[in-house]
Structure 1
């Protein structure tokens, strides 16, 4: 199926309230959608492919085996890892929208527990590798739509953090990963990335495996960036990203966390960094 043909068919599917005749066709269409998940046509990619995938997964249109098949496709070298490390290249759309589909599948797994421990472990390792190597930090790209790698990656980590088979060391690894993305100074986040990262951090903090001491130690690690003040533009960008993150984190956490001292420490970081 060509890209234009798929677009016309998906427009009709949305007009038909996400329903098609023939249960087996949902899977067939989904495989075609994954072929074009990285199109630079933002309507096809975001408004149609991602939107329809989201509806179909939440409507249980796919079997557990089919969802696992989609997961492995999204994790492969032609999807999540396609062009990894490149900057300002169109391959970013394939990576970041594959990440969103992975997040949807993990959400479904967190509701129904159909992925094995081994599959989740492999997924976690690949997400860590992806988020570490992702260098294209752009949010919205003119005429092509959302790239948003940092936000989409945080969405996946948010769902991973809720996988109960992840242990303390896994969760700590995810916190380190998120800190690295927060503390970069190459690019100032302007498209809501700090809030999306904050939501992922909250999911990790809410796990019983993570205690107050773990949280305090993680927060303490940000103080070293204050000592790195060298008046460079990179340091200033880093300062803006960290400060905006903690402002978001405070409001994301305040109705969830019981330890007032944690909120106090976050407030202190906002004012002293």
Structure 2
């Protein structure tokens, strides 16, 4: 199935209220969708492939073995890790939209529990590797639509940290990876990546993530920013702005839920430390 045939098939599928024609070969269609998951045509990639995958997965088009095969493909070096580390090229669309399919499969696993501890560990390792290495944090790309890699991986992480087969001891590593990425110093986050990345942290705190550990890491980050104020260049101020934005979003999310007072107090103190140089002017 070529790209034109794929688009026509999915347009018919979506136009028919996501009722699949029995004549369609689901295996062939899925292979084509995975191949074109990062297509730069936003209608094909976002409106058709992503939306169709969601419907097909949620409506039980796939067997358990087929879901696991799709997950394995999404995690491989031609999808989640495809050209990871590159910034500014079209490869980000493949990586970013692969994370969304991973998120949907993890969501279904919460109801069906078909992924083993080893499967979940593989997803955990792959997502943290991807989060660490992703350098393209563009949001809305002119003419090509949403890349939004950090927001999309946040969705996958949110589903990951809810998995019963993910050991609680691994939550600290997930939080550390998130905080490190939100302290990105090469580009600003402009499209609510901070709000999206707060959600998995709130889920982890509700699951039992150590508040004292979170507070320690927030304090250390705030102190690092404060100490380097006088010598900071452009990358420092990008880093500073991204961290302040993220901590503020986390604070108000927790305040809205009226929970985790200790974490909220640590955030307030960290932001005061970060802004201290200005209070003395």
Tell whether the structures are fold-level matches, with TM greater than 0.5: yes
Contact 2:175 2:201 in 1 (8 A): yes
Unpaired runs of 5+ residues, structure 2, are 275-281
- 1:84 equivalent in alignment to 2:48: no
- 1:213 equivalent in alignment to 2:212: yes
Contact 1:139 1:147 in 2 (8 A): yes
Indicate the larger mover: 183-192 or 161-170.
Answer: 161-170
Contact 1:27 1:66 in 2 (8 A): no
Give the Cα–Cα distance (whole angstroms) in 1 for the partners of residues 49 and 238 of structure 2.
Answer: 34
Cα offset, 1:101, TM superposition: 0.6
Paired residues, number = 272
Give the Cα–Cα distance (whole angstroms) in 1 for the partners of residues 215 and 258 of structure 2.
Answer: 13
- 1:44-103 deviation per Cα after TM superposition (whole angstroms, max 9, x unaligned): 000110011112222222222111110001111111111111111111111111111111
Contact 1:20 1:26 in 2 (8 A): no
Unpaired runs of 5+ residues, structure 1, are none
Give the Cα–Cα distance (whole angstroms) in 2 for the partners of residues 21 and 50 of structure 1.
Answer: 18
Partner in structure 1 of residue 245 of structure 2: 244
Partner in structure 2 of residue 120 of structure 1: 120
Give the Cα–Cα distance (whole angstroms) in 2 for the partners of residues 256 and 59 of structure 1.
Answer: 33
Contact 2:255 2:264 in 1 (8 A): yes
Indicate the larger mover: 263-272 or 11-20.
Answer: 263-272
- 1:130-181 deviation per Cα after TM superposition (whole angstroms, max 9, x unaligned): 1111111211111111111111121111111111222233111111111111
* Partner SS, residue 194 of structure 2: helix
Report the CA distance shift for 1:240/1:34 in structure 2 as closer, same or farther (over 3 A): same
Report the CA distance shift for 1:56/1:271 in structure 2 as closer, same or farther (over 3 A): farther
Partner in structure 2 of residue 190 of structure 1: 190
Contact 1:205 1:215 in 2 (8 A): no
* Partner SS, residue 52 of structure 2: helix
Q: What TM-score results when the alignment is normalised by the length of structure 2? A: 0.91
Give the Cα–Cα distance (whole angstroms) in 2 for the partners of residues 242 and 188 of structure 1.
Answer: 10
Partner in structure 1 of residue 68 of structure 2: 68
